[in-house]
Amino acid sequence: MNKKIIFILVALFSISVLFLISKSFWTKEIKQTKVTVARVIDGDTIELANGKKVRLLGVDAPEYGQYYYEEAKRKLKDLVEGKEVILENDVTNADRSGRLLRYVFLDDLFVNLELVKLGFANVYVVYPDVKYSSQLLEAEEIARKNGLGIWKKFSLPYSNCIEITKFHYDANGKDDENLNDEYVIFKNICNFSVNISGWTVKDRSFNTFTFPEFELKANTEVTLFSGSGKNTNSEIFWNSKYAIWNNEGDSLYLRDKEGNLILFKSYPPL
């Protein structure tokens, strides 16, 4: 056989083998398992009859002490506690705490999606577990526009006072090494001061900042830096050890000390 043909055949065989190895490495067989839910721990975590804990994939419900925590927990409890459900995996099997990461189905009801659709949780999608990300994001947008659950807007004197004038989420160079080039500028556009002491800023993950004693004067700005520094009348520092905002996309939730949603900003736009 011609040496050139042999070389081509060997090359094609090698490429095929590499493709199969790569495919098996990056993909995982989707499995569905029928289980019984013993109890609901919070709005996005359940414990099975066998003692294993399961964290619902793609969603993040309010934590203990946060606005709408009890409502989210009660909703999940009403949906699945003591019932037989189907667990479906994605790519990542478990989190660092050992909790299984799963999508949960009750008959024809997609529980993760239901929590988001009714405003009991926001979307929290982390690559590579993105199987249902488009459906979840679409449901969140509908819940937000309709002011359901965690998205409920309250008629407060300062409800429409705060806006973001600049969101610099992508720091120059390596984000973790340039934390103070990652910042958000908030402006009080009202003609009266707003006391934002105890207000919280949260990302789409679990990172939460609580404002110290601070009054934002009328028509003035305050910059919230991710890194460290000395707080002033115009600069506040998160004092994080790592970057907060994901460059590929994230969301900012600003809530007052009662947990009322004051401002929501997402990028890229949903």
Residue 25's pLDDT band (cuts 50, 70, 90): very low
CA–CA gap between residue 270 and residue 266 (Å, rounded) = 7
Query: Which pLDDT value is given to residue 5?
Result: 53
Query: Which pLDDT value is given to residue 259?
Result: 85
pLDDT in tens, 163-179: 999 999 999 999 999 99
User: Does 245 score more than 60 pLDDT?
Assistant: yes
Mean of the per-residue pLDDT values of the chain? 90
Map out the domains of the chain as residue ranges: 32-150, 162-267
User: Does 18 score more than 50 pLDDT?
Assistant: no
CA–CA gap between residue 42 and residue 19 (Å, rounded) = 42
Residue 265 has phi, psi (to 5 degrees) of -140, 125
Residue 19's pLDDT band (cuts 50, 70, 90): very low
Sheet holding 250-255: strands in order across? Answer: 208-210, 200-202, 250-255, 261-267
Residue 96 is a catalytic residue = no
Nearest Cα residue to 239 out of 218, 268, 260, 209:
209
Architecture of domain 32-150: Beta Barrel (2.40)
Query: Which pLDDT value is given to residue 30?
Result: 77
Residue 17's pLDDT band (cuts 50, 70, 90): very low
Residue 39 is a catalytic residue = no
pLDDT in tens, 44-91: 999 999 999 999 999 999 989 888 999 999 999 999 999 999 999 999
pTM (2 decimals)?
0.75
| Buried-state track 230-268, b at ≥16 Cβ within 10 A, e below 16 | eeeeeebbbebeebbbbeeebbbbbbbeebbbbbbebbe
Residue 177 is a catalytic residue = no
User: Does 241 score more than 50 pLDDT?
Assistant: yes
> What is the sign of the dihedral through the CA atoms of 24, 124, 77 and 117?
negative
3-state secondary structure the chain: CCHHHHHHHHHHHHHHHHHHHHHHHHCCCCCEEEEEEEEEEECCEEEECCCCEEEECEEECCCCCCCCHHHHHHHHHHHHCCCEEEEECCCCCECCCCCEEEEEEECCEEHHHHHHHCCCCEEECCCCCCCCHHHHHHHHHHHHHCCCHHHCCCCCCCCCCEEEEEEECCCCCCHHHCHHHCEEEEEECCCCCEECCCCEEECCCCCEEECCCCEECCCCEEEEECCCCCCCCCEEECCCCCCCCCCCCEEEEEECCCCCEEEEEEECCC
Query: Which pLDDT value is given to residue 4?
Result: 55
Name the active-site residue from 63, 138, 163, 235.
Answer: 63
Name the active-site residue from 55, 102, 204, 255.
Answer: 55
User: Does 3 score more than 70 pLDDT?
Assistant: no
User: Does 153 score more than 90 pLDDT?
Assistant: no
User: Does 10 score more than 50 pLDDT?
Assistant: no
Name the active-site residue from 71, 81, 99, 141.
Answer: 99
Of 3.90.1490.10, 2.60.120.650, 3.40.50.720, 2.60.40.1260, which CATH number belongs to 162-267?
2.60.40.1260
Average pLDDT over residues 232-248: 97
